[in-house]
Structure 1
Amino acid sequence: MANTWNGSDDPVTRIHRQCRWSTSTLQMTDLESDTTSECTNRWIHIRHLPSQFNIDLLANCSEYPLFDDFCPYLPNHGLGQKTHNRSHSWYRTDSHMLELIFHRRMLEYPCLTSDPDAADAIYLPYYAGIDSIRYLYGPDVNSSFEHGLDLFQFLRHYDSSHIWGKHNGHDHFVVMARPAWDFSQPLSNDPPIWGTSFLELPEFYNLTALTLESRAWPWQEQAIPYPTSFHPPNMALLDSWVSRVRRSRRTTLMLFAGGGGVSASPNIRRSIRLECENSTSTSIGNSGYSKLCDFVDCSNGICEHDPIRFMRPMLQSSFCLQPPGDTPTRRSTFDGIVAGCIPVFFEDQAAKSQYGWHLPEEQYGEFSVFIQKEDVVFKGVRILDVLTSIPRARVRRMRESVLELIPRVMYRKHGSSLGLRNKNDAFDIAIEGTLQRIKSRLAEISVR
């Protein structure tokens, strides 16, 4: 196996060591009396799974050439390598590593219990997205309907099967670091087309799945933010970044960082590219901007692990365009928020109907702009006209609202300082939302 990690302190070894530490300290956590009142209705049990469902999967990090060699993104428990040696907050984070990031953060969750019967929710540390790679790009592509069956057999028939059986999985949750579409291939597809059938298996209908993008109808799916490259370890570094974002001179009206839009057929990305190419300095007028539109070409994934490529332009732009691509949502939405760049959406599925826990639906008008993509593509509506018509005072208020969202959409670094731990980040909000959803679901089935 062509694994790039060697030595006794590689990422896999460190995660193994951390997992052993968590197991040995769970009982001590239970005995902390001051925590008991704060943890009422918030206790979580981490289900012990054989390493084949998490740690062992990382050993295959270089075996899927059609996907990518994801070995470079494993350091720092999934945050990836630092962007440069002196960086304290910025990493080359791959969004598919969210399962590792979440697992590591769960180990320092303050309300862990070793007693599953005392838990309000049970976390499955299964790296579902990483395990799916062998079905999507690897040797098991024709067996994608089997994804998850081994896990179910373990939960239902082996090693304390009563934990799953107590509520038939209604109290369990898992993180899946891919869009739900990648796990929702109908079982009837023969031969398989794309995706695994994990979320289509009746065995997992009761499981709460936290995904990077959810579908509109299944109750058990909930989208949580894509990880950005920003993971501050303390409050001072977060405050310093927010201050920098607030001071940044916004010399560009709008920015599109992405790929696509080069085909001849009408689509929103093509319309954005054409409008950006046709915007000239002569049309700036009294807008106050030195450039109306900027374009950062992120084709072929060249921006994904290089935040410097797009963060500087985002810091200089008032609005960041977030058109849908292969799926409605984009990591760029959260990169832009971290940069204080006001998001411009072109369909509700892009964020409004996805991230209700982190981006409250009733507040979208305060921090974002919505332009129907069909109006742009087929009716001649110019994005520049819409954005330049927004009064400057309102733009300033919208940017302040975006700044307030930064802590909510970032995943702070594990082991962060106490001050930062007191401010809810994307992980904390996801946990609270999950607990509420499971509580409501259990209450609902109890009265049937």
Structure 2
Amino acid sequence: MASTPTILTATIFLFLFLLKSTISQPTTTTDCTGRWIHIRRLPTRFNLDLLFNCSQYPLFDNFCPYLPNHGLGHKTHPLSRSWFRTDPLMLELIFHRRMLEYSCLTADPNAANAVYLPYYAAIDALRYLYGPDVNASADHGLELFDFLQYDSPGIWARREGHDHFLVMARPSWDFSQPLRNDPPSWGTSFLQLPEFYNVTALTLEARAWPWQDHAVPYPTSFHPPSLAFLESWMRRVRRSRRSTFMLFAGGGGISATPNIRRSIRNECTSNVTQYLGAYVKLCEVVDCSNGVCEHDPIRYMKPMLQATFCLQPPGDTPTRRSTFDSLLAGCIPVFFEELSAKLQYTWHLPEEIYREFSVFIPKEEVVFKGLRIVEVLMGIPRTRVRRMREKVIELMPRVMYRRHGSSFNFRATKDAFDIAIEATLHRIKSRFEEEVAFE
């Protein structure tokens, strides 16, 4: 296996080469009306140089192992073509690499409908969250803003940042500490800075009220390189035997304090029951305490493939990567808070279709009123369960990030990246039109 410095050096040189060659050759085969994007040239201290610090945050983690394959991480098996040990923090790197393949790039910022900032905000935030600048978290982003103001200032000034967007591979709460918190609390203040109020931020979990951030799917470990690999996986999911009725993959729930995870663990037993004419395990818990599942998809994907329902209780924040893992496994998600998904990923999973692919059970009913989850799920007719699973399979392409350099015919299938870009362009256009209307 190549050393970390070798991997990092190769990654940086390849990124620089791709960036130069890609934006100097705009497409001539795609209708780019309203879709032109300019990638802002930032000094490498705002992105690629940050990767060299991958082992410098002992209170966080050594994220060096997750950098190969442009942020997809190492393959789960040497012969694997679609499965990687992907860390969610790498979404910024994954997104940057995919942007270099975007079909409507322009070197002229004045011709662009949107400007992409390839700033690795979540990786840079580590020094404020876990590193030497923990007491200066209100400064996060100011250096970037200074650069945008003084290097080609006309790009920013043209629309005062309304046409700019970036990816932040953490929940928005991690960037929302009030500027004058004394003493400081968790997080940096990037999204609280007035300087960035107009910028669109794509985060793993968005706040409920500000307009500036919007949630995009967590990256899973599945990154197929072609349509054939995706369709092969979908066939496997369809024919998988569902021998477990409901499953919870996660940690927590062991304290005496009443909470939804504790209620799930108490309800889950090893009893076998009859469901849809077959004997199945009533409930299974895949213990993912202490992060043991984070980079080992085999540990939880196989049980999910064998389960009918996957329970998705909130944890430290409402959303979970496990939601997208379960969708890729054809396991019907069961939510206990609307902020866990329904009010988050509206671009990729529109609110109006949630009843078609998921179940909602208010956590208060379970924790404080004794409602049994299994009884609710057992009451769903088998025909509806089958329709829900088919809808889950239909949604798979929308919530996964295909591999960079994928086959040409696969690019006609919109994945999570494509949908995010399309919606971001629409959002920026609508925002600008609103500003013009009020002038």
Normalised by the shorter chain, which TM-score bucket? over 0.9
Three-state SS of the structure 2 residue aligned to 1:28 is coil
Q: Is the 8 A contact 1:96 1:177 kept in 2?
A: yes
- Tell me which residue corresponds to 1:181: 173
Three-state SS of the structure 1 residue aligned to 2:72 is coil
d(CA) in 1 for partners of 2:120 and 2:276?
Answer: 52
d(CA) in 2 for partners of 1:446 and 1:64?
Answer: 45
C-alpha deviation, 1:419, in angstroms? 1.6
d(CA) in 1 for partners of 2:426 and 2:9?
Answer: 33
2:407 pairs with 413, 417, 432, which one? 417
Q: 1:97–1:286: structure 2 CA closer, same or farther, 3 Å change rule?
A: closer
d(CA) in 2 for partners of 1:286 and 1:358?
Answer: 31
Structure 2 letter corresponding to 1:83: T
d(CA) in 1 for partners of 2:147 and 2:340?
Answer: 36
Does 2:16 align with 1:13? Answer: no
- Tell me which residue corresponds to 1:148: 141
Matches of residues 428-439 of structure 1 in structure 2 within 5 Å? 428-439=418-429
C-alpha deviation, 1:191, in angstroms? 2.3
Q: Is the 8 A contact 1:80 1:93 kept in 2?
A: yes
| Residues 379-404 of structure 1: CA deviation (Å, up to 9, x unaligned) | 11100000111111110000000000
What TM-score, normalized by structure 1, do the two folds share?
A: 0.96
| Residues 219-247 of structure 1: CA deviation (Å, up to 9, x unaligned) | 01100000000000001110000000000
Unaligned runs of 5+ in 1: none
Q: 1:360–1:198: structure 2 CA closer, same or farther, 3 Å change rule?
A: same
Q: Is the 8 A contact 1:253 1:289 kept in 2?
A: no
Does 2:219 align with 1:227? Answer: yes
Q: Is the 8 A contact 1:15 1:77 kept in 2?
A: no
Structure 2 letter corresponding to 1:68: D
Matches of residues 20-35 of structure 1 in structure 2 within 5 Å? 20-29=17-26, 32-35=27-30
d(CA) in 1 for partners of 2:45 and 2:429?
Answer: 30
| Residues 118-150 of structure 1: CA deviation (Å, up to 9, x unaligned) | 000000000000000000000100000000000
1:197 pairs with 189, 194, 198, which one? 189
Structure 1 letter corresponding to 2:193: L
2:271 pairs with 272, 276, 280, which one? 280
Q: Is the 8 A contact 1:78 1:98 kept in 2?
A: yes
d(CA) in 2 for partners of 1:4 and 1:177?
Answer: 25
Q: Is the 8 A contact 2:135 2:184 kept in 1?
A: yes
Three-state SS of the structure 1 residue aligned to 2:4 is coil
d(CA) in 1 for partners of 2:22 and 2:50?
Answer: 25
Three-state SS of the structure 1 residue aligned to 2:333 is strand
- Tell me which residue corresponds to 1:89: 82
- Tell me which residue corresponds to 2:199: 207
Structure 1 letter corresponding to 2:20: T
What TM-score, normalized by structure 2, do the two folds share?
A: 0.98
C-alpha deviation, 1:156, in angstroms? 1.2
Structure 1 letter corresponding to 2:18: W
2:256 pairs with 264, 279, 302, which one? 264
C-alpha deviation, 1:94, in angstroms? 0.2
- Tell me which residue corresponds to 1:101: 94
- Tell me which residue corresponds to 2:104: 111
1:400 pairs with 385, 390, 410, which one? 390
C-alpha deviation, 1:284, in angstroms? 4.1
- Tell me which residue corresponds to 1:446: 436
d(CA) in 1 for partners of 2:133 and 2:121?
Answer: 15
Once superposed, what is the RMSD of the aligned Cα atoms? 1.3
Does 2:135 align with 1:136? Answer: no
d(CA) in 2 for partners of 1:33 and 1:237?
Answer: 29
Structure 1 letter corresponding to 2:266: L
Three-state SS of the structure 1 residue aligned to 2:278 is coil
2:307 pairs with 308, 317, 320, which one? 317
Q: Is the 8 A contact 1:11 1:77 kept in 2?
A: no
d(CA) in 2 for partners of 1:294 and 1:341?
Answer: 13
